Amino acid sequence: MSALLRIEDLHMEGRRPTGEWMPIVRGVSLEARRGEVLALIGESGAGKSTIALSSLAYARPGCRFTGGEVLFDGTPVLDLSLEQKREMRGRRVAYIAQSAAAAFNVAHTLAAQITEGPAVHGTMPQAEADTQMVDLARRMRLPEPERIGRKYPHQVSGGQLQRLLAVMAMSCGPDLLVFDEPTTAIDVTTQVEVLAAFKDVIRESGAAALYVTHDLAVVAQMADRIIVLYGGEIMEQGGTDQILHEPRHDYTRQLMAAVRPPPRASGSGADLESSAQPPVLSLQGIDAGYGGVKGGKPGVQILFDVDVDIPRGQAVGVIGESGCGKSTMARVISGLTPSFEGEVRLDGKTLPPDVKHRDKKDLQRVQLVLQMPDVSFNPKKLVAQALGRPLEFYLGMTGAERDRRVGELLNMVELPADYAGRFPHELSGGEKQRVNLARALAAEPDVILCDEVTSALDTVVGAAIIKLLESLQERLDTAFVFISHDLSTVASFANRIVVLYAGRVAEQGPTRRILSPPYHPYTRLLLSSVPEMRTGWLEDHRATREAEQAMADVVNIGLTGCPFHTRCPLMIPGTCDVKRPPVHRLEEDHRIACHREIGELQEAPGVHG
């Protein structure tokens, strides 16, 4: 069959903040056929999205086409008039964006936006478009397909929005679908269902698809063919199995090496001499939340009775879906969100709940590294000033002593000492995150809180940051609290893992015990939802009852019973929905909060192994 989309020797440029134009796509040629999913993979800056968007004859602001051709169904689309491009977009080529929450317009109902395509392209009357939307929503297994269109974007969950974006894309029956990192912003548990829905859509419509992602395990589920990009050039292309299992190009091998294996007990990193150590930091019976406190309770309670010990010099991973209270836990430890019940103890000394009441010494001992390296620096201050400030404030260093220490800190995070003279905008995302880490280290703290520190970074860059954290943790006597929704990353690095669900600790213990039976049912759901780098995993996984059950609901902060009971395949009616689960205490301080007996929790996650 002839190609639906043919890109020939495409050249594009992007404008730097300084104003000059730089090549960002250099001579890329590719073909996509009907009924085929072609994946574009690579790090950010590889030109994946830019190339994918060229199939819509669209260059983002600050980008421009400089050479080559894009042929869609035989038509050179770059030469079309604005009006002709508009007629093609949405009707023949449809786009599914990275973040549905941002792509939908908050001011209009979902139905108005989904049926807008047929209306502006005149493909069908309004009534027919409405019926079609309900039908597509049903096929996407969205709840209440007849009524969901009447809602506004903020009234539905992220995973549902992402599927609604696919409904919108399908509304004009396009021939080519462009997926731009469509599951990057959502949880693993939700990702499974969204990927399955996308796959159904592609198969049923017989359209061609471009699938842009940096997640290789996702690629394994979705793609027929893969193109590996680096710096705007094609490094390698081939069938999915060939690229994933027999990569030929060095860069592809490098990409594969950066992929963390799915979390398994055997593969997991640093082991312990753990529980012997007295905890450097301990949370006891923490209740916390947001909103004004009334009658001893805040408006919205997020954390419920959280007990967690952080042993000195160890890495503790905190995992759970979004909305489970991971970041709130970090904020309680740092005092930014004061707990209203329970205690935060540092070396046995109770800290004031509110950061305002903590003294300099308390502040120095707990440091925070934030998620977004791009916005956590003052753009007007040099790296030397950003790092010098905590040195002066906490340690009283000045002059040459401070400058020498800034150099040492940069070396600790594997950056050259002359980076001290740079401004934040002269650093890459990964380098900024290293400086962020150096800033936390500058205070010589006992505990460093890392809140999703790699989630804004690429796989390869993120993997390097994790490696750095591992080596720092081995060398220093600092404890790390590592918050992430990425189970593989946490499992590879943490000595202990805390699994949070709806603000409660579902399970906690040494990493290898968390990753092997007995499992808390929620831990098992999380583990089994991490895609494996093999084709066919998605289909296998969906057949399991965990996936079936977990689909039933999203994270709800329930006040009675076990919060997970609405999604739990092992739920005991009359018990789990009414009573708080007891905490089973096993060896090495491994704790599981569940009504089931330990024996019943021994079963391994469905599809693994």
Partner 1 sequence: MIANLIVRRLVLGVITIWVMSALVFFGIEILPGDVADAILGQGATEETLHAIREELGLYRPAYVRYLDWLGGLLRGEVGEALGTGRSIAEMIGIRLPTTLTLGGLTAAIAVPLALSLGLIAAMYPGSLFDRAITFGTLIVISGPEFLIATLLVMLFAIELRWVPAVSYLSQDPTFQQIARAMLLPVMTLVFAVLAPMTRMTRSAVLNVMASPAIEMAILKGVPRMRIVLWHALPNAFAPIVNVIAINLAYLITGVVVVEVIFSFPGVAKLMVDGVQSRDIPVVQACAMLFCAIYIGFYILADVISIVSNPRLRHPK
d(CA 222, CA 38): 9
DSSP 8-state code for residue 181? S
Residue (172 or 601) nearer to partner 1, CB: 172
Residue (87 or 362) nearer to partner 1, CB: 87
Residue (186 or 217) nearer to partner 1, CB: 186
Residue (121 or 199) nearer to partner 1, CB: 121
> Can you tell me whether residue 285 is helix, strand or coil?
strand
Residue 228 Cα distances to 41, 78, 351, angstroms: 5, 24, 51
Q: If 0-12 CB within 10 Å is exposed, 13-18 middle and 19+ buried, where does residue 357 land?
A: exposed
Residue (152 or 393) nearer to partner 1, CB: 152
Tokens of 505: 């600790």
d(CA 549, CA 541): 12
d(CA 215, CA 462): 12
Q: How far is the CB of 100 from partner 1 (least distance, A)?
A: 9
Residue (72 or 493) nearer to partner 1, CB: 72
Q: Which residue has the tokens 């929450």?
A: 101
Q: Which residue has the tokens 């395509």?
A: 117
Residue (61 or 348) nearer to partner 1, CB: 61
Q: How far is the CB of 56 from partner 1 (least distance, A)?
A: 6
Residue 211: closest CA among 51, 99, 381: 51
> Which residues lie closer than 8 Å to 418 by C-beta, 6 or more apart?
none
Q: If 0-12 CB within 10 Å is exposed, 13-18 middle and 19+ buried, where does residue 61 land?
A: exposed
Residue (78 or 383) nearer to partner 1, CB: 78
Tokens of 373: 């390296």
Give me the torsion for CA of 364, 490, 465, 282, rounded to 10°. 10
Q: How far is the CB of 178 from partner 1 (least distance, A)?
A: 8
d(CA 408, CA 414): 10
> Which residues lie closer than 8 Å to 18 by C-beta, 6 or more apart?
none
Residue (147 or 349) nearer to partner 1, CB: 147
Phi/psi region, residue 128 (left: phi>0; alpha: psi -120 to 50; beta: rest), is alpha
Q: How far is the CB of 120 from partner 1 (least distance, A)?
A: 5
Residue (101 or 447) nearer to partner 1, CB: 101
d(CA 517, CA 596): 14
Radius of gyration, CA atoms only, the chain: 25
d(CA 78, CA 159): 34
Q: How far is the CB of 105 from partner 1 (least distance, A)?
A: 5
Binding site for partner 1 (CB under 8 A): 53, 56, 58, 60-61, 86-91, 94-95, 97, 99, 102-108, 116-117, 120-121, 151-152, 154-155, 168
Q: How far is the CB of 93 from partner 1 (least distance, A)?
A: 8
> Can you tell me whether residue 305 is helix, strand or coil?
strand
Q: How far is the CB of 169 from partner 1 (least distance, A)?
A: 9
Q: How far is the CB of 302 from partner 1 (least distance, A)?
A: 16
Q: Which residue has the tokens 């730089």?
A: 22
Residue (156 or 479) nearer to partner 1, CB: 156
Q: How far is the CB of 98 from partner 1 (least distance, A)?
A: 8
Q: How far is the CB of 171 from partner 1 (least distance, A)?
A: 9
Residue (89 or 496) nearer to partner 1, CB: 89
Q: How far is the CB of 339 from partner 1 (least distance, A)?
A: 26
Hey, what amino acid is at 505? V
Q: Which residue has the tokens 């983002």?
A: 60
CB 101 within 8 A of CB 38: no
Q: How far is the CB of 103 from partner 1 (least distance, A)?
A: 4
**Torsion sign across C-alpha atoms 52, 58, 59, 61:** negative
